[in-house]
Amino acid sequence: MAVYLRTVQEVQTGIAGRFKDRRLAMNLTQRELAARSGMTWSSLKRFEREGLIALDSLLNLALVLDCLEDFDKLAVESQPFSAALSLDALLATPTLRRRATGRKGRSHGV
């Protein structure tokens, strides 16, 4: 089972940063990209700053920035429900009881 150590906000801002990098590489201003993707300039600014965006707006940005096909790779089943099954299996595994290091109820030298 894989352990993911990034927060949702870190993932959001990372995606926003990559989209901003693509916009700059295509020599587009925020206003130009917002107009081409059908969103407001303030929404695009918020996305680039905070990573907050509606899914349809994100997909429209991806279409304009020529990376819409990347979304086909999201949530692809490589192993059906492997994370959920692994977590269930982990929770269902009984913990092994270990004997205490000393003996309970026994007096020492008295």
Q: List pLDDT tens digits, range 4-16.
A: 788 999 999 999 9
CB atoms within 10 A of CB 99: 7
pTM for this model (two decimals): 0.67
Mean pLDDT, range 47-59, rounded to an integer:
96
Per-residue confidence (pLDDT) for residue 32, from 0 to 100: 98
- 3-state DSSP of 42-90: HHHHHHHHHCCCCHHHHHHHHHHCCCHHHHHHCCCCCCCCHHHHHHHHH
- Shortest CA distance to 53 belongs to which of 28, 87, 18, 88? 18
Helix (H) or strand (E) holding 23: helix 8-25
Measured between alpha carbons, how far is 24 from 91 in angstroms, rounded to an integer?
46
pLDDT at 24 > cutoff 90: yes
**Which of 21-25, 32-36, 79-83, 87-91 has the weakest average pLDDT?**
79-83
Dihedral of alpha carbons 63, 65, 66, 69, sign? negative
Task: Kindly report, residue by residue over 54-100, the tens digit of the pLDDT.
Answer: 999 999 999 999 999 999 999 887 755 555 556 676 677 666 666 76
pLDDT at 52 > cutoff 90: yes
Measured between alpha carbons, how far is 70 from 37 in angstroms, rounded to an integer?
17
Mean pLDDT, range 34-49, rounded to an integer:
97
The reply to whether CATH 3.40.50.2300 applies to domain 1-67 is no
Mean pLDDT, range 47-52, rounded to an integer:
96
pLDDT at 27 > cutoff 80: yes
Measured between alpha carbons, how far is 25 from 102 in angstroms, rounded to an integer?
67
